[in-house]
């Protein structure tokens, strides 16, 4: 039976997903071993499925939609991997945490720094509401594996996936596997 794999993109730049694609030819081998059941790069599935074996979660939790999704991911996933520095520390998206709340960030970006036609993005159900701060994934749900890097290099991603495919907990140690940034 194939391992059910999901990749999730929260508040981040998608660099971790681009690094995942840097696995190049190994992706062909991986495709024979996994069923990709949810991913912004491999499917058009909009609802997170049940019974996921491994989820690589990129990005911090920065919006109401992110918050709902990460709770769903945790509920339906056996092994949750914080995929990249934004998922682990909130990294670059977390820079907005130095501002006093989401409203000041929105006002600065959409009113103060805009041309004369600035307006706040308000489209309930279409534009997700910003949380007061961008949170690392482990501040919201338990994380099983941490995969650092901005983005993690393909070799590091492969090392973690190979261990998970063998049914092992990845050992993340040594400069090549633990380096942030």
Give me the chain's average pLDDT, please: 92
> How high is the pLDDT of residue 12?
94
176 within 8 A of 155, measured Cβ to Cβ? yes
pLDDT at residue 36, as a whole number: 95
47 and 72 Cβ atoms separated by less than 8 Å: no
DSSP element (H, E) containing 113:
none
Q: What is the pLDDT of residue 46?
A: 84
Q: Which helix (H) or strand (E) holds 165?
A: helix 154-165
Cα 40 from Cα 124, distance rounded (Å): 22
pLDDT at 120: 82
Helix (H, G, I), strand (E, B) or coil at 47: coil
Within the chain, strands assigned E span 3-9, 34-38, 52-58, 61-63, 77-83, 130-135, 145-147
Answer for the pair 101, 132: CB distance below 8 angstroms, yes or no.
Answer: yes
Q: How far is CA 113 from the centre of its chain?
A: 28
What pLDDT, on the 0 to 100 scale, is given for residue 108?
Answer: 86
Q: In the CATH scheme, what is the homologous superfamily, with its name and number, of domain 3-97+129-178?
A: NADH:ubiquinone oxidoreductase-like, 20kDa subunit (3.40.50.700)
- For the chain, the straight-line distance linking the first and the last C-alpha, in angstroms and rounded, comes to 36
Q: What is the 3-state secondary structure (H, E, C) of 115-143?
A: CCCCCCCCCCCCCCCEEEEEECHHHCCCC
Res 107: pLDDT: 87
CA–CA separation, 125 and 147 (whole Å): 32
Q: Average pLDDT of each block of 10 consecutive residues along the chain (181 residues)? A: 95 96 96 96 85 98 97 98 97 92 87 80 80 97 96 95 95 70 64
* Domain locations along the chain: 3-97+129-178
pLDDT for 178: 66
Question: Do 140 and 68 form a contact (C-beta atoms < 8 A)?
Answer: no
């Amino acid at each position: 039976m194939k391992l059910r794999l999901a990749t999730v993109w929260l508040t981040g730049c998608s660099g971790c997903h681009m690094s995942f694609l840097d696995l190049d030819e190994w992706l062909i081998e991986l495709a024979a071993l996994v069923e990709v059941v949810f991913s912004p790069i491999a499917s058009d599935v909009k609802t997170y499925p049940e019974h996921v074996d491994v989820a690589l979660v990129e990005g911090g939790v920065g919006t109401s939609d992110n918050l709902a999704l990460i709770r769903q991911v945790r509920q339906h996933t056996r092994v949750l991997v914080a995929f990249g520095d934004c998922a682990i520390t909130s990294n670059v998206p977390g820079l907005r945490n130095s501002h006093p709340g989401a409203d000041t960030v929105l006002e600065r970006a959409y009113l103060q720094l805009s041309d004369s036609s600035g307006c706040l993005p308000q489209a309930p159900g279409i534009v997700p509401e910003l949380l007061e701060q961008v949170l690392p994934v482990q501040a919201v749900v338990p994380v099983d594996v941490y995969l650092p890097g901005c983005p993690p290099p393909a070799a590091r991603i492969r090392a973690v996936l190979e261990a998970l495919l063998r049914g092992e907990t990845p050992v993340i140690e040594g400069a090549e596997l633990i380096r942030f940034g």
